[in-house]
Amino acid sequence: MPQQDALHLARWTVTSGSNAKSRGAVVIEAGDHHWQASASGNGAVDALFRAVDKALAEVLAGHPRLVGFVVRSLGEGPGAEGLVTVTILPPAGAEGPRGEGEYSGASTSTNIIAASIEAYIEALNKMLDEAHWAGAAETAAASRRTSRPTPRQRAEFDREKAKHDTTSWFEQ
């Protein structure tokens, strides 16, 4: 995926608590492609990673394998930023060059959940930037158009509607 078509996390939301399963939702853009998904997980970060994997399942032909997740403080006190580093392997079962390599992403923020999802997207972009992944998004989009021609195939990102409370996704 050429750099100008890199994955961009348009928005995300997550709910988590001690007495409830965590639920995350994402909207991802790349060029003129848009994906959205929600998923449950074992904690806020896991729920968001699963939502990204679900949204991009057709592009990646599976789920990347998380092999490293490191959080480090870059200072002290409540305003300190944290550095999150995420390392992934391509989806299990990917054949040829698409099944090889290790990709890392890193992000800093005072919000560790935000840094985590941004680092994950960065690692995915590094993987998709490899020549052997070229055209993956277009192939998935073409497959969606021919296999299920319904109006719900593609999420359209409306910046005006993005200002509303996105927790309604969790009621679906």
Q: Which domains can be identified in the chain, with CATH numbers? A: 3-171 (3.30.160.270)
> What pLDDT is recorded for position 132?
80
144-172, pLDDT tens digit by residue? Answer: 554 443 444 444 545 555 554 555 555 55
Specify whether the CB–CB gap between 40 and 48 falls below 8 A: no
Question: Sheet of 33-41: strands edge to edge?
Answer: 8-17, 20-30, 33-41
Task: Of 2, 126, 155, 137, give the one whose Cα is nearest residue 60.
Answer: 137
Tell me if residue 98 falls in helix, strand or coil: helix
Contact 53, 35 (CB under 8 A): no
Residuewise pLDDT in 10s, the chain (172 residues): 444 468 999 999 999 998 889 999 999 998 888 999 999 999 999 999 999 999 999 888 888 999 999 999 999 998 999 999 999 999 887 778 888 889 999 999 999 999 999 999 999 999 988 888 777 766 666 655 544 434 444 445 455 555 545 555 555 5
Whole-number pLDDT of residue 160:
58
At residue 150, the 3 state secondary structure works out as coil
What is each CA distance from 105 to 34, 69, 73, 86, 89, in whole angstroms? 21, 10, 16, 5, 12
Q: Is the pTM of this model over 0.85?
A: no
pLDDT at residue 71, rounded to an integer = 96
Task: Report pLDDT for 139.
Answer: 67
